[in-house]
Amino acid sequence: MATITLLLAVLLVSGCATAPGYDYSAYRADPPRSILVLPPINNTVEVDAPYVYISTVTRPLAEAGYYVYPVAVVDAFMKENGLPDPAEMQSVPLDKIDDIIGPDAVLYTTIEQWGQKYRVLSSDTTVEVKARLIDTDTGVLLWDGSAHAVEGSGNGQGGLLAAVIVALVDQIVDTTADRSHEVARQANFNMVSNSQTGLPLGPYNPEHVTDPRRQ
């Protein structure tokens, strides 16, 4: 009887235990104040995706409490110094970035999915990006995340004829860039602000002192 009681107690504790969250120990050891965002590597066929995406990532980082180097200025500086594409920019050694620009951390991103996929009666706009925040002094991974969001054009209302018309209009009128831009904004917000796995609040956000991810 005692054995059965002990077994039940162990099962009860196991069932109530919560799954471990993101490990922020590396971030806590050396939390950054400033972030340099490099243009993303593009693994899709959408050639405009990197610069549409990068225009959406600065705001959530700044609102989280970090100083973010102006992405247009950084991009122009890299190109003027013989680095014309994102892959070459991301290959620059951290010590060079640290010496010349001086950020505490660099955000490296890769676009995995981007743009619209047309179906018979609807279309979905999908954005999926992977991100890594690296300490410029040590090369240590401080945080990583995945930005993902999907927006569908059809909701099934109005009957079959209305759905067909909407689908035709979506395919005739090119609204991919506009939709992808908004979906990317939402994806970045979801990634950065997630209370369980998102980026901890930075020093320029007054609420950072109570953020449990920094404790």
Give the CATH number, domain containing residue 190: 3.40.50.10610
- Please determine, for residue 12, whether its predicted confidence score (pLDDT) is greater than 70: no
Mean pLDDT of 1-10: 44
Asked whether residue 182 is assigned to any structural domain, the reply reads yes
Q: Mean pLDDT across the chain, nearest whole number? A: 83
- Do 154 and 123 contact (CB within 8 A), yes or no? yes
Mean pLDDT of 115-143: 86
At 98, the pLDDT band (50, 70, 90 cuts) reads very high
- Do 89 and 37 contact (CB within 8 A), yes or no? no
Predicted confidence at residue 202, as pLDDT, reads 97
Geometric angle at alpha carbon 187, from 120 and 27, rounded to 5°: 150
Geometric angle at alpha carbon 192, from 116 and 38, rounded to 5°: 75
Predicted confidence at residue 153, as pLDDT, reads 60
Mutual orientation of helices 176-193 and 49-64 as an angle, nearest 10°? 30
Asked whether residue 171 is assigned to any structural domain, the reply reads yes
Query: pLDDT tens for residues 32-52?
Result: 999 999 999 999 999 989 989
Asked whether residue 215 is assigned to any structural domain, the reply reads no
- The pair of three-digit structure tokens given for residue 172, joined into one six-digit string: 């005739």
Asked whether residue 95 is assigned to any structural domain, the reply reads yes
% of residues, the chain, pLDDT over 90: 65
Q: Exposure pattern of 176-186 as b/e (b: 16+ CB <10 Å)?
A: beebbeebbbb
- Do 115 and 46 contact (CB within 8 A), yes or no? yes
Mean pLDDT of 19-42: 92
Say if pTM beats, i.e. exceeds, 0.75.
yes
Mean pLDDT of 18-27: 78
Mean pLDDT of 79-108: 95
DSSP state of 152: E
Asked whether residue 52 is assigned to any structural domain, the reply reads yes
- The pair of three-digit structure tokens given for residue 17, joined into one six-digit string: 């235990």
Domain count, the chain: 1
Asked whether residue 210 is assigned to any structural domain, the reply reads no
Asked whether residue 120 is assigned to any structural domain, the reply reads yes
> In terms of residue numbers, what domain contains 44?
22-204
Asked whether residue 13 is assigned to any structural domain, the reply reads no
- Please determine, for residue 11, whether its predicted confidence score (pLDDT) is greater than 80: no
Predicted confidence at residue 200, as pLDDT, reads 97
